[in-house]
Amino acid sequence: MARKQATAVATKDPVPRFFDEMRRTDGGIRTAYREFWKLVEEIPREQLLLKQAEADALFRRVGITFLVYGEGGSTERLIPFDIVPRILDAAEWKLIEEGCIQRVKALNAFLHDIYHDQEILKAGVVPKDMVYRNPAYRPEMQGVDLARRVYSHVSGIDIVRIGPADFYVLEDNLRTPSGVSYVLENREVMMRLFPDAFGKQRVAPVGNYPERLLHNLRAVSPTDESEPTVVLLTPGRYNSAYFEHLFLAEQMGIELVEGRDLFVRDGRVWMRTTEGPVRVDVVYRRIDDDFMDPLAFRADSMLGVPGIVSVVRAGKVSLANGFGAGVADDKAMYSFVPEIIRFYLGEKPVLNNVQTWRLGEAEAREYVLEHLSELVVKEVHGSGGYGMLVGPAATKTEREAYKRRLLNDPGNFIAQPTLALSTCPTFSKAGIAPRHVDLRPYVLSGETTSVIPGGLTRVALREGSLVVNSSQGGGVKDTWVLER
Amino acid sequence: MLSRTAQNLFWLSRYIERAENTARLLDVTYRMSLLPSAASQQDQQWRPLLVIGHSAEEFAARYGQISGASVIEYMGFDAANPSSILACVAAARENARAERSAISTEMWEALNATHLELQSKKYRDFAKDGVRGFFDWVKERSHLFRGVTFGTMYRDDAFHFIRVGTFLERGDNTARILDIKYHQLLPEPRVNGEPVDYFQWGALLRSVSAFRAYRQAYHDTVDPQRIAELLILDADMPRSLLYCFEEVLNTLATLGGTRPRECQRLAGEIHASLKFGRIDRIVAGGLHDFLNGFLVRSNRLAAQLQRDFMMSLQLD
């Protein structure tokens, strides 16, 4: 699964004090976990081992795999699944839900403004350069009206927790966030493994996600026909998230198409079928902007649909997510999100932003260079944890080398403090022990803006590790939201 | 349904049918080559298989002299030969992988297992135990796939495209087998009723699973013209050209919907020539020319299918 890496490293505190989501400091169990813990304590260890094995077998059978690229081609792997759920109570979830909806509403308003009147630039809240020099900015979209003014129809907000009510957003993913198929499959597996746990408390269901997604996609159709044609556009079966594309298309009952299945004629997008051409109204695309239209963007792309940009501009097809949404989700723009929320909604941000120093600014640069050993430094457009300096973990030589790189183009870097990620009980060889986690809820926008209750919890399975990436020993958990 | 899906499924079934028929062709040639009358004519026995596949030159460049062993290796196990059994199965599996949502899980599993097992097979493993076991295995895997398709697949357009591919390919293959063997076994014009080599003709019938059918249909000794009649014009013989085109015609009627399509007309034309054809006329006019004409028309139909269902580039 291609996901960006969480900025998450140990603090320099000799005795790290991480927030434990299940155990209070006095050893008691927090309310959210009480029922589940009672149940688990009664299950002998051997039986838990059996359940873990059963879960692995189920995932293998369903075929939820991701591709790992290596020498001599790619192989299909399973992401490790942990049978202990991450549980949030109603109050905790309310905070996350409100915060995510607020953020995505503000970001969609921001994108509409950027591609129209640019009030926020005129007001000087966001510097013009941040937009115009941003490679994700699409001048082609200037002045183009999108259905319901939605740019990011599916958004993934990456969140970490460091205290009882301290949730921090690490980043916003407004382009083509993946991973939601795991949310649905994880729940299926958990309901098989622990039916009693679901009987004893009200866990908010997530299974209607595809239904809600389809509903929102239909709501942004440019035509007023009651049955718009919606398709899911995939780069194809060699893409690492192909199984998710297949899964979602099947669940929604829509065609899974590749670029070559679509074409543009008479100002419309059409799909080649055995019954002849069929008009397409909404394209839920899982291909990056750059590859979507060889006539407008990368000319060498074989994945896209030549001419589709012109149809979008004419308002005859809707793309989800829209072109140019990425201008609002890079690491430098991230630092402006609290201002963006205040500007468009006039509200106080519900979720915290991690303090961010933009190294293009002299004062910030000076501070960061002095405190390099305490901070995490990232490239503005980097992802997947590449090209990143983790100050506390780096050697002096590494820091010096990074400093030279940074000074070459300081505007391309940001720095953040290290965060103490919370832990969740996790099944390990030694029994159930705390491991660090993050959370990605999925926000849908269209007719309304809403979040499915839960999301993808990623867990660093190795003891002490703060890296939750699946490529580096990370796994996933089901996320339960208790309805009361 | 998507044109690409139709195309992938159509070819998926053609590849599997082709793999099976290649095994049948190799099998009958192998059997015939073991008979005393054929022992000294290795080249004559095996060359037509390469000629009809237009691969004699490529074969000569890579393998040199023609022998049973080298032709079986080339047509069975050579990954560089796109029409080898190995390559056909791999191509079918690749198409199935692209269309996993259109076929049943069991179909995917049957194909995937066949592919994986074939990857681990080598010609030399069979050479010592008898290569017939390999041909039987290929046929069994093809039977399994067809049976699973029939038993588990939803009867939608995807299913019908698979059926069209199967029968178009099978008709093509039966015509080729008959063309090669008929003229090998009967080089000169002969007088009706003259005795022929029972074992050679019996092997041809067995290669298309028609030995018992022949006995039931004619209750008589083996006669070349009747064999041709059984394999071309018999509506109840599941590998005959007529049977294949009954299936093609019916399936196209289901797929066609309300629009009249050129492919239906072409299929109807071929079907009529088989349904109302007479074997004595066909033989008198030259069996080779007839079969060749059939192959040309069958190819034209396949190309029209692509135009009617799978490219649809024009707006109506």
Per-residue pLDDT of chain B (316 residues; tens, 9 = 90+): 899 999 999 999 999 999 999 999 999 888 888 877 666 677 888 988 898 878 889 999 999 989 888 999 999 999 999 999 999 999 999 999 888 888 998 999 899 999 988 888 777 777 776 788 899 999 999 999 999 999 999 999 999 999 999 999 999 999 999 998 887 777 666 655 566 678 888 888 988 999 999 998 998 888 888 999 999 999 999 999 999 999 999 999 998 777 778 999 999 999 999 999 999 999 999 999 999 999 999 999 999 998 888 864 443 3
At A200 the pLDDT is 85
Q: Do B2 and A272 touch (CB under 8 A)?
A: yes
Residue B80 burial (CB count, 10 A): 10
Total domains, chain B: 2
What percent of chain A clears pLDDT 90, i.e. is strictly above it? 65
* Alpha-carbon span A398 to A416, nearest angstrom: 18
At A63 the pLDDT is 59
At A27 the pLDDT is 86
Q: From B126, B153, B180, give the residue that closes a domain.
A: B153
Tokens 């390469």: give the residue.
Answer: B50
Does B149 share its domain with B205? no
Tell me which chain B residues have a C-beta less than 8 angstroms from the C-beta of A277.
312, 314-316
* pLDDT higher than threshold 80 for residue A74: no
* Alpha-carbon span B25 to B23, nearest angstrom: 5
* pLDDT higher than threshold 60 for residue A69: no
* Alpha-carbon span A387 to A69, nearest angstrom: 19
* pLDDT higher than threshold 80 for residue A73: no
What torsion do the CA atoms of A360, A361, A364, A366 make, to the nearest 10 degrees? 80
Q: From B101, B131, B153, give the residue that closes a domain.
A: B153
* Alpha-carbon span A296 to B268, nearest angstrom: 47
Does B73 share its domain with B27? yes
- Distance, C-alpha B13 to centroid of its chain: 11
* Among candidates A246, A260, A263 on the partner chain, residue whose Cβ is nearest the Cβ of B101: A246
| Domain boundaries, position B169 | 155-316
Q: What is the DSSP letter of A410?
A: G
Q: Do A237 and B157 touch (CB under 8 A)?
A: no
CA nearest neighbour of B91 among B75, B79, B103: B79
By CB neighbour count within 10 A (0-12 exposed, 13-18 middle, 19+ buried), where does B21 fall? buried
Does B141 share its domain with B162? no
Determine the average pLDDT of the residues in A389-401: 86
Does B74 share its domain with B15? yes
Does B181 share its domain with B310? yes
- Distance, C-alpha B29 to centroid of its chain: 15
Name the residue of chain A whose CA is nearest to B256's CA: A275
Does B167 share its domain with B293? yes
pTM of the model: 0.82
- Distance, C-alpha A14 to centroid of its chain: 32
* Alpha-carbon span A457 to A443, nearest angstrom: 15
Confidence category of residue A383, pLDDT binned at 50, 70, 90:
low
Residue type, A394: A
Per-range mean pLDDT, top range of A45-49, A63-67, A105-109, A239-243: A105-109
| Per-residue pLDDT tens over the stretch A9-65 | 444 443 447 899 999 888 899 999 999 999 998 998 889 999 999 888 887 766 555
Q: Do A273 and B3 touch (CB under 8 A)?
A: yes
Q: Do A276 and B6 touch (CB under 8 A)?
A: no
Q: Do A277 and B312 touch (CB under 8 A)?
A: yes
Which residue(s) pair with A424 in the sheet? A435
Helix (H, G, I), strand (E, B) or coil at A65: coil
**Rounded to the nearest 10 degrees, what angle do helices B241-256 and B157-185 cross at?**
160
* pLDDT higher than threshold 60 for residue A466: yes
CA nearest neighbour of B177 among B308, B303, B53, B9: B53
Name the residue of chain B whose CA is nearest to A251's CA: B101
* Alpha-carbon span A393 to B305, nearest angstrom: 63
* Alpha-carbon span A378 to A213, nearest angstrom: 33
Interface of A with B in 203-262 (CB under 8 A): 237, 246, 249-250, 255-258, 260-261
At A468 the pLDDT is 81
Residue A233 corresponds to which tokens in the numbers above? 């556009």
Query: How large is the C-alpha radius of gyration of chain A?
Result: 23
Helix (H, G, I), strand (E, B) or coil at A92: helix
CA nearest neighbour of A369 among A407, A312, A397: A407
Q: What's chain B look like in SS3?
A: CEHHHHHHHHHHHHHHHHHHHHHHHHHHHHHHHHCHHHCCCHHHHHHHHHHHCCCHHHHHHHHCCCCHHHHHHHHHHCCCCCCCHHHHHHHHHHHHHHCCCCCCHHHHHHHHHHHHHHHCCCHHHHHHHCCHHHHHHHHHHHHHHHHHHHHHCCCCHHHHHHHHHHHHHHHHHHHHHHHHHHHHHCCCCCCCCCCCCHHHHHHHHHHCCCHHHHHHHHCCCCCHHHHHHHHHHCCCCCCCHHHHHHHHHHHHHHHHCCCCCHHHHHHHHHHHHHHCCCHHHHHHCCHHHHHHHHHHHHHHHHHHHHHHHHHCCCCC
Interface of B with A in 99-128 (CB under 8 A): 100-101
What percent of chain A clears pLDDT 70, i.e. is strictly above it? 92
Does B215 share its domain with B310? yes
Tokens 């076991």: give the residue.
Answer: B133
Does B316 share its domain with B272? yes
- A130: phi then psi, degrees, rounded to nearest 5: -60, -25
Quick check: B255 contacting A, CB < 8 Å? yes
Residue A88 corresponds to which tokens in the numbers above? 């949030």
* pLDDT higher than threshold 50 for residue A4: no
* Among candidates A237, A249, A265 on the partner chain, residue whose Cβ is nearest the Cβ of B97: A237
Is A152 in contact with A108 (CB distance < 8 Å)? yes
* pLDDT higher than threshold 60 for residue A285: yes
Q: Do B316 and A258 touch (CB under 8 A)?
A: no
At A356 the pLDDT is 92
Identify the residue with better confidence: A443 or B124: A443
Tell me which chain A residues have a C-beta less than 8 angstroms from the C-beta of B157.
274
Chain A and chain B share a number of CB contacts under 8 A equal to 47
At A474 the pLDDT is 86
| Per-residue pLDDT tens over the stretch A358-368 | 898 899 999 99
* Alpha-carbon span A262 to A304, nearest angstrom: 9
Q: From B125, B153, B181, give the residue that closes a domain.
A: B153
| Per-residue pLDDT tens over the stretch A112-127 | 999 999 999 999 999 9
